[in-house]
A and B are shown apart, each in its own frame.
Chain A
Amino acid sequence: MTETNTAAGYLDMDLLRFTTAGSVDDGKSTLIGRLLYDSKAIFEDQLEAVEKSSKSRGDENVNLALLTDGLRSEREQGITIDVAYRYFATPKRKFIIADTPGHTQYTRNMVTGASTANLAILLVDARKGIIEQTCRHAFIANLLRIQHVVVCVNKMDLVDWDEGTYNAIVEDFKKFASRLDNIVEVTFIPASALLGDNIVDKSSNMPWYQGPTLLYHLETVYIGGDENHIDARFPVQWVIRPHSDKWHDFRGFAGRIAGGVFKPGDKVKVLPSGFESTIKGIHTMDGELKEAFAPMSVALTLDDEIDISRGDMLVKLNNPPQPKQDVEAMICWFSADKKLAGRGKYILRHTEKEVKALIHEVRYKVNINTLRKIEDDLVFSHNDIGRISIRTSAPLIADSYRRNRITGSFVLIDEQNNETVAAGMII
C-alpha cells in the first residue's frame, strides 16, 4: 500500500473489477480476506474487530470471512447474504471485488456481481473437484460475458499439496469449458486461501507449480480488449441547457459513452428519429476534448438544432443498431415471490429508456447444472435462467449483448411493486 501514495503511480493505475464464485464454504470470503490482508488493505481496527468477534464465536483461526460479512444476520449465521463490494489497490492496479454469496439468492447475486466484472475467480475445493456448481458458475460467467476466468483450486493444504489431484481438476474443467464461447482466457492456480499459498506469495509447498500467484495474475491480466471501441454508441442521459448569458445557445447532450470513439467533426445519426448531424464539440468542465470513448462521461454538441431527448441514442453512420420492438433475450429471473410466465407485462429499462414490455413467448429454460434446455416447464421462478421473446411498446436501440454489454442489457421491473425482477441479455 505504501507505494501507492506516490502521486504519479496512483494517477496511472487502471481498474480491474472481478467477482468470486464458489459454493458455500469453498473459501470465497477467506480468499478475499487474504487478498485484503496481504495487500495491506485492511486496517488495524478492522482486524482487531475481526479478531475479537472470531474469539467470541469460538473460531480457531482469525476468521477472515468476517471482514466481508458485515450485516448483522450474516455475522449471526456465519454466511454471506448479499453482494458485498470490497476495494484494494496495489501499485499496479485498483481492484473492485464483488463477493457474491451462495445459498438461496446465489444465482441472482452472482449475475449481479458478474454484470460489471472483467474477471471471475471460480473457487474449487481441491477435495471435491469440479462439481455441478462449478459448472453453473462458469456458465453464468460465460452468459454475462466475463472474458477472463481464474479457476482457483483452493484448500490444497487438505490434499497434501498433491499435484496429481490438481492436474485432474484442471483436465476436468477444460473438458467442460470448451462449450463456453465467451470466455477468452482461463487460468488455473492451486492455492490455500487460509494459509496464503499462491494468493499473494508464492507457495513453498507446491514447487511443482510454475505459474503466477493469484495477485500477480490480477495485476497483470490484459483487459484493454474488453470494451467495444468499434461501434460508436452514445445514449443520451440528460440535456444541458444553461440558460445563461454566456452559454445562451448551448445545448449539450450529456451521457456516458457505451461504445466506440467520438471526435468533433464525426457524422452522427440520432436514433430513433434518424436525423443526422455532425459533432461540434465534446465538452467537459476541464475543457473540450479531441476524442472520447467508453466509459467516459461527456456532453456533446451538434452542428444542427435537432430535437433530441433522454433515451435517444447518437451513433455513427457506419454501423448503426436497428431499432426494434421484438427482442430475443436470455434472462435471469430474480423475484422470490412472483413468477414469470408467457404474456406477462413489465416495465423494461434499457440504457436511459423505460418502455412497457410484453412477454411474447417463453422459449426454454436452462438447467444450469447440466446446461440442457428445459422445454416442458416454462414458468420462471427464482434464479431461473432461460430464453424469452419480448414485444416492447416503443423501439429499443439495442445491440446484441455479445457486442456490447451496455446497449445489449436490460432489466424487467414489476409494475405493481417496482422491484427489479429480471436481468436480460439481448441475443
Chain B
Amino acid sequence: MHQDYSITHLKQLESEAIYILRETAAQFEKPVLLFSGGKDSIVMAHLAKKAFYPARLPFPLMHVDTGHNFPETMEYRDRFIAELGAELVVASVQDAIDAGKVKEETGPHASRNGLQTVALLDGLEEGKYDAALGGGRRDEEKARAKERFFSHRDAFGQWDPKNQRPELWNIFNGRKHHGEHFRVFPLSNWTEMDIWQYIKLEEIDLPSLYFSHERPCFVRNGVIMAVTDFIELLPNETAQVKNMRIRFRTIGDATCTGAALSDAADLDAIIGEVAAARQTERGTRADDKRSETAMEDRKKEGYF
C-alpha cells in the first residue's frame, strides 16, 4: 500500500481545534465563545462553525465590550454574528463602571484593559457559563506557552500556573466543582503565521483595521496609537498628531492597541510582512509592557 495518508500541518491544526471545540460542547453544560472581533476569535468562530456543521453553534458568543472600540470592529462584529446565525452576549465594562464595581483609570494612560477581567468574570457568572472558549495561542507570549487546552479556573476565576492538570494524548479533563469554570483554547498550537495562512486558505473575511489604511496617529512610548475619543493626548502629543499609513496586528481596546506602519493592503502582503517581522505581534501592545511577567500576573487574576 503506497498511498500517503498524511495531512498538512494546517489541516492537523484545524482538526485539533475542531476536536477541542466539540469536546467543549460535550463536556460542559453551558459553554460560551469569547469573541473580540480580532482575527484569532474570528478564526475560532469559523472553526466552531465547521465543527458543528450543518447545525448551528451549540453555544453563544460573548463580547467583552470595553466601550472603547473602533467603529470598524463593531460593524464587523454585528455582521459576522448575523451571518453565523449565532447568539451574542455582551459583557460591558461600562456597565461594571456604572454599577460601581470597578473604578475607571483616569489620565492620559488610562486604559480599560484591566477592567475587562471584572466584566468578563461577571459576565460568565451572570450567564452561569462553565467554559469560556478563548482564542489565545501559546506562541503569543511566554506565560501563554504554559497554558493548557482545558485550563481550570477556581471559584474566583483565578489561574494557578504551577498547579495545572497534565494533558496527555487527546484526553481532556474538564471535571470541576460547582462555581469553578474552564478556559478552553482551541488555537493553542497555532502561530501567528498559521492564523494568517489559514485565513487566506479559508477566505475568511476580516475587519478592515487589519489592512493598511490612513488615519490620524501619534507616538507614545515608541508605540503608534490611533487618535480616538477614548485617549487623552498629552500636550506635546497633540502637536505631533499626523496622518499615517498603518494597520493593526491585533485588535483590542482602542486605548492600548498599537498600530504598525504598513502598506500591506491584502492578505498576501500581510503574510509577507508577518514572515519578515522582527517584532512579535504583542510587541505593539502597551498592556504587556508594564512588566516582564505582566501577562502571567493578569492571567492569574482571570484575564483572557
Stretch with Cβ within 8 A of A (4 or more), from B17-25, B30-38, B71-79: B17-25
**Contact call A224/B51, Cβ cutoff below 8 A:** no
| Binary interface encoding of chain A residues 235-247 relative to chain B, with 1 for a CB under 8 A from any of its CBs, else 0 | 0011011111011
| Chain B hits for A15, CB < 8 A | 8-9, 12-13
| Chain A CB within 8 A of B171 CB | yes
Interface segment among A146-154, A293-301, A313-321, A367-375: the answer is A293-301
| Interchain CB contact (< 8 A) of A285 among B22, B53, B139, B296 | B53
User: Which candidate, B96-104, B187-195, B204-212, B232-240, is the interface stretch facing chain A?
Assistant: B187-195
| Chain B residue with the shortest CB-CB distance to A16 | B9
Is B106 an interface residue, CB under 8 A from the partner?
Answer: no
What's the nearest-Cβ distance from chain B to residue A80, in Å? 10
Assuming the contacts A2-B276, A5-B274, asked whether A85 and B188 have C-beta atoms less than 8 A apart, the reply is yes
Question: Which of chain A's residues have a CB closer than 8 A to the CB of B171?
Answer: 349-350, 409-411
Q: Which of B50, B55, B175 lies in contact with A242, CB distance below 8 A?
A: B55
Contact B169 A409 (CB under 8 A): yes
Whole-angstrom distance between the alpha carbons of A423 and B173 in the complex?
A: 12
Cα–Cα, bound, A168→B71 (Å) = 67
B107 contacts the other chain (Cβ, under 8 Å)? no
Stretch from A38-46, A127-135, A203-211, A385-393 at the B interface: A38-46
Nearest CB of A to B46, in Å: 9
Residue of B nearest to A419 (CB): B165
Cα–Cα distance between A328 and B164 once the two chains are bound (Å): 28
- A46/B280 in contact, CB under 8 A: yes
Other-chain residue from A44, A241, A409 in contact with B278 (beta carbon distance below 8 A): A44
For chain B, residues 273 to 300, give those with C-beta under 8 angstroms from any C-beta of chain A.
274-280, 283, 292-293, 296-297
B189 touches A96 (CB 8 A): yes
Q: Is the CB of B278 within 8 A of A240?
A: no
Contacts A2-B276, A418-B177 given; does A82 touch B19 at CB 8 Å: no
Q: Which residue of A lies closest to B291 (CB)?
A: A72
Alpha-carbon separation in the docked complex, A46 to B283 (Å): 9
Evaluate contact between B296 and A296: CB separation under 8 angstroms.
no
Is there contact, CB below 8 Å, between A238 and B268? no
The CA of A423 and the CA of B51, in the complex, are separated in Å by: 28
Q: Say which one of A21-29, A108-116, A157-165, A178-186 lies at the interface with B.
A: A108-116
* Complex interface: chain A residues within 8 A of B146 (CB): 70-71, 82-84
Contact A45 B11 (CB under 8 A): no
**B221 interface residue (CB < 8 Å to A):** no
B142 within 8 Å of A (CB atoms): yes
Complex: A290 Cα to B158 Cα, angstroms? 46
Kindly list chain B residues whose C-beta atoms are within 8 Å of the C-beta of A276.
none
A347 at the interface (CB under 8 A from B): yes
Stretch with Cβ within 8 A of B (4 or more), from A6-14, A194-202, A266-274, A356-364: A6-14
Q: How far is the CA of A413 from the CA of B279 in the complex (A)?
A: 42
Contacts of A7 in B (CB 8 A): 197, 200, 268, 271
Pick the contact of B168: A45, A86, A112, A224 (CB < 8 A).
Answer: A112
Interface residues of A in 71-87 (CB under 8 A from B): 71-73, 75, 81-87
Within 226-254 of B, Cβ neighbours of A (below 8 Å) are at none
Question: Do the beta carbons of A256 and B170 come within 8 Å of each other?
Answer: yes
The contact of A71 among B4, B15, B143, B167, by CB within 8 Å, is: B143
Q: How large is the interface on A (under 10, 10 to 19, 20 to 34, 35 or more residues)?
A: 35 or more
With A254-B51, A297-B18, A420-B165 as known contacts, state yes or no: A237 contacts B23, CB within 8 Å. Answer: yes
- Distance between Cα atoms of A285 and B162 in the complex (Å): 39
How many contacts A-B (CB < 8 Å)? 207
Q: Is A352 an interface residue (CB 8 A)?
A: yes
Flag A48-72 by CB within 8 Å of B: 1 or 0 each. 0100010000000000000111111
Known: A84-B146, A86-B145. A283 touches B53 (CB 8 A): yes
Contact B22 A238 (CB under 8 A): yes
- Supposing A241-B55, A420-B173 touch, asked if A43 and B292 sit within 8 A by C-beta, the answer is no
**A27 to B: closest C-beta gap in Å:** 19
A310 touches B (CB below 8 Å): yes
- Least CB distance from A218 to B in Å reads 14
Beta-carbon nearest neighbor of A414 in chain B = B175
Query: Size of chain B's interface in residues, with CB distance under 8 A?
Result: 71
The answer, yes or no, to whether A334 is at the interface (CB within 8 Å) is yes
Question: Roughly how many angstroms separate A211 CA and B121 CA in the complex, as a whole number?
Answer: 55
Task: State whether B175 touches A246 (Cβ < 8 A).
Answer: no
B39 at interface, CB cutoff 8 A: no
Query: Are the C-beta atoms of A11 and B169 separated by less than 8 Å?
Result: no
Is B216's beta carbon under 8 Å from chain A?
no
Say if the beta carbon of B114 comes within 8 Å of chain A: no
B279 touches A43 (CB 8 A): yes
B166 touches A237 (CB 8 A): no
A10 and B292 contacting across the interface, CB-CB below 8 Å: no
Closest approach, in angstroms, between the C-beta of A396 and any C-beta of chain B? 13
Question: Residue A1 at the B interface, CB < 8 A?
Answer: yes
List of A residues within 8 angstroms of B9 by Cβ: 13-15, 93-94
State in angstroms the CA–CA spacing of A96 and B271 once bound together: 21
Contacts of B110 in A (CB 8 A): none
Nearest CB on B from A320, distance (A): 20
**Any A CB within 8 A of the CB of B26:** yes
CA of A49 to CA of B176 in the docked complex: distance in angstroms? 37
Quote the shortest CB–CB distance from A9 to chain B (angstroms): 10
A294 vs B16: C-alpha distance when bound (angstroms): 11
Contacts of A418 in B (CB 8 A): 173, 175-177
Would you call B156 an interface residue if the criterion is a C-beta within 8 Å of the partner chain's C-beta atoms? no
Q: Decide if A282 is an interface residue (CB 8 Å cutoff).
A: no
Asked if A187 is an interface residue, CB under 8 A from chain B, the answer is no
Question: Are the C-beta atoms of A87 and B19 separated by less than 8 Å?
Answer: no
Given contacts A49-B292, A89-B193, contact A295 B161 (CB under 8 A): no
CB distance from B293 to the nearest CB of A (A): 4
Q: Which residues of A contact B (CB under 8 A)?
A: 1-2, 4-5, 7, 10-15, 43-46, 49, 53, 67-73, 75, 81-87, 89, 93-94, 96, 108-109, 111-112, 115-116, 224, 227, 229, 237-238, 240-244, 246-247, 250, 252, 254-256, 261, 283-286, 293-297, 299, 310, 334, 347, 349-350, 352, 405-406, 409-411, 413, 418-420, 423
Can you list 5 A-B pairs with a CB-CB distance of less than 8 A? Answer: A13-B8, A112-B166, A238-B22, A347-B175, A409-B168
- 6 closest A-B pairs by beta carbon, nearest first, are A70-B142, A5-B275, A15-B9, A115-B168, A418-B175, A285-B53
**New A-B contacts (9) at CB < 8 Å, excluding given A13-B9, A93-B9:** A7-B200, A11-B201, A70-B143, A72-B296, A116-B169, A224-B5, A247-B55, A286-B50, A297-B18
